Amino acid sequence: MTTLMTGNEAVARGAYEAGVRAAFGYPGTPSTEILENLEGHKDEVYLEWSPNEKVALEAAAGASYAGVRSIVTMKHVGLNVASDPLMTLSYVGCEGGLLVCVADDPGQHSSQNEQDSRHYARFAKIPVLEPADSAQALAFVRYGLELSERYKTPVMLRLTTRVSHSSSLVETGGRATPATALFERNPERFCPLPAWGRQMRKRVEARLEELRSEAERSCANGIEWQDRSLGFIAEGLAWNYVKEVFPSASVLRLGFAWPFPDALIREFASGVKRLVVVEENETILEEHVRSLGIPCSGRDLLSGIGELSVPRLLELEAALLDLPSPARAAPCPEASDLPARPPVLCPGCPHRGLFFALTRHDVIVTGDIGCYSLAVYPPLSRTDTVLCMGGGFSVAQGIDKAGEGRRVVGVVGDSTFFHSGITGLLDVVYNKGRSVLVVLDNRSTAMTGHQENPGTGMTLMGERTVEVDIAEVGRACGMKNVAVVDPYDLEATGRALAEALAREDSSLIVARAPCPLRARSAVGKIKAIDAAACKSCRACLKLGCPAIESSEKGKPPAINPELCAGCGLCAQVCSAGAVREAAL
Ligand code: SF4
Ligand code: SF4
């Protein structure tokens, strides 16, 4: 059947059709929807949001050892977390096919960096498949799992935001019969202790040679001969842009993106007058082409910063053909005349209470990856650093131990706490830090679309499970001072913070209230400002709630009833008592 699917839907469909028995992952845009699109098949595919990407890959490895096909999904920065097992899994190898589905984010649409996961594949010496559209995404899942079993290696499926979230036609089919799990004991096979690990090391190199031969004949690669005055080598998504902007040029399309097919590259290069490499982000392919002694253009004409696009390829066309820039009108001009709309915490967001309470203290706030990183913006301006998942606590410890005179408050979210914040808390407790550690527990992995986590009491399989109590985890880790507060209660939150900051040792504050977007209901009664009572002091605007609209200075603000979630924070801030329940 022919259907329109996003790349992520196609990956999920491909996994189902290929007989995958288990799928693990940690949510992260742009990869999140892969597991979510397998939810309709949970009778046949075991699904799991793991606490982090390292755990997810290790679990997928276990499923593979037991002989069944598995996939693991994550965004590019998640692969940093999973890189430890990846490096050794390359040595140990697979039994059942194992596909590492990594979604990179060129252009940093929702990411803190723009790293190129192909580096990891080369580092780990595992093959990479890079689809150009949804049809290839589906086909490459099946192909990747076959490769994984044939060569006993994990295989990387490298997606990018544009492939993951764009829709194109795919041909769906039936499900292959999945293997039955049966782990065959063989320590020499599964334990890379030095004596056996050294033998594995040799097999990895031999496997790489075999994979090079596979790349030469792979149906994922191919030459499209046309006008030979200009020839492009393009990987994955880049092929689409090349075809659109240079429809009559010759193209070497690489879907088997690493290791490279050297003979095919030489054949193509010798058949064209001028060679151009088009790839997103890093120059991995271009450097390889040059290492073969083949002159080419690439990064000299096309920057590696940001996402490729038709306008950028039009710039390339102008540079190549020495035309005025741009040679043709870009089809999608940027909407530069729209007003800037900086991202803000949602109306009714429980994080607002905690950050507002923090505005009353001269402390350093080390934040983390989650919706709450938006507190970096005015008017709250209450986040000073953001590094990586789980780093909020450890960075606090570093600043504190460096001898900074001001107190440091480390902030992480609930999912982030389970991901890798726990070890930061252990560091602070064990090494006698004095930071105030805050977990913004909104009962959900909210930023990526409200996925379950170990604190929500539900699994991705839709089953009720243990609801891990963050305060109890803190106590079990040795934290002496633990408080649980309602962040909608400004006085209680402020008091807990002041008490924690008054102590000389470390504290843990769990600011606990569910995300109202997940509950899909207002927190309380919708509010309105009584203009007659309002003193126009603008104190309520300091909350940064998008429902409170600022009118002319000196005039009362107004609350937009369509946006207000009724959290009541503005009523607590208003000393004039001008915020009332709206008469709706
Ligand atoms: S805090 Fe109260 S008095 Fe001040 S502007 Fe807002 S509604 Fe008016
Ligand atoms: S009650 Fe006030 S702070 Fe809360 S959502 Fe409504 S306007 Fe915003």
Question: CB neighbours (10 Å) of residue 504?
Answer: 6
Q: How confident is the model at residue 67 (pLDDT cuts 50, 70, 90)?
A: very high
CA distance 127 to 144: 9
The mean pLDDT value for 522-533 works out to 94
In this predicted structure, the answer to whether residue 332 has a pLDDT above a threshold of 70 is no
Atom of ligand 1 nearest to the CA of 573: 1
Q: What is the pLDDT of residues 68-97, one digit of tens each?
A: 999 999 999 999 999 999 999 999 999 999
Rounded to whole angstroms, how far apart are CA atoms 457 and 468?
Answer: 7
Ligand 2: centre distance to CA 583 (Å): 15
Would you say residue 142 has pLDDT above 90? Answer: yes
- Is the CB of 438 inside a 6 Å radius of any atom of ligand 2? no
Length of the chain: 584
Residue 134 in this model has a pLDDT that exceeds 80? yes
Long-range own/partner contacts, residues 117-121 (CB < 8 A, 24 or more apart): 117/76, 117/79, 117/156, 117/158, 118/158, 118/257, 118/258, 118/282, 118/284, 119/282, 119/284, 120/79, 120/83, 120/86, 120/156, 121/156, 121/158, 121/258
What is the C-alpha to C-alpha distance for residues 374 and 388, in angstroms, rounded to an integer? 14
With cut-offs at 50, 70 and 90, classify the pLDDT of residue 519: confident
Rounded to whole angstroms, the Cα distance separating 199 from 196 reads: 5
Q: What share of the chain is helix, strand, coil (3-state, %, to 5)?
A: 40, 20, 45
Amino acid at residue number 53: E
Q: Which of 517, 521, 570 to mutate to test the pocket of ligand 2 (most atoms within 8 A of CB)?
A: 570
**40/520: higher pLDDT:** 40
Q: CA nearest 356: which of 389, 393, 383?
A: 383
Ligand 2, pocket-test mutation among 490, 543, 550, 572, most atoms within 8 A of CB: 543
Q: Is 64 helix (H, G, I), strand (E, B) or coil?
A: helix
pLDDT at res. 584: 72
Longest CA pairwise span in the chain (Å)? 82
**Residue 478, H or E segment:** none
| Ligand 1-lining residues (CB < 6 angstroms) | 529, 534-540, 556-557, 573-574, 576, 578-579
| pLDDT confidence bin for 551, thresholds 50/70/90 | confident
pLDDT at 236: 93
**Distance from residue 9's CA to the centre of ligand 2 (Å):** 37
Question: Is the beta carbon of 548 within 6 A of some atom in ligand 2?
Answer: yes
| 421-444 residue pLDDT tens | 999 999 999 999 999 999 999 989
Q: Which pLDDT score is estimated for 367?
A: 96
Ligand 1 atom closest to the CA of 537, numbered from 1: 4
Q: State which of 346, 545, 549, 584 you would mutate to test the pocket of ligand 2, scoring each by most atoms of that ligand within 8 A of its C-beta.
A: 545
Structure tokens at 575: 């000393």
**Spatial contact of 30 and 75, defined as CB atoms under 8 Å apart:** yes
3-class secondary-structure state, position 313: helix
CA of 286 to the centre of ligand 1 (A): 60
Of 6-10, 322-326, 547-551, 562-566, the range with the lowest mean pLDDT is 322-326
What pLDDT does residue 502 have?
97
Number of Cβ within a 10 Å radius of residue 202: 10
The model's pLDDT over 454-481, given as tens digits with 9 standing for 90+, comes to: 999 999 999 999 999 999 999 999 999 9
pLDDT number for residue 163:
93
3-state secondary structure of 422: helix
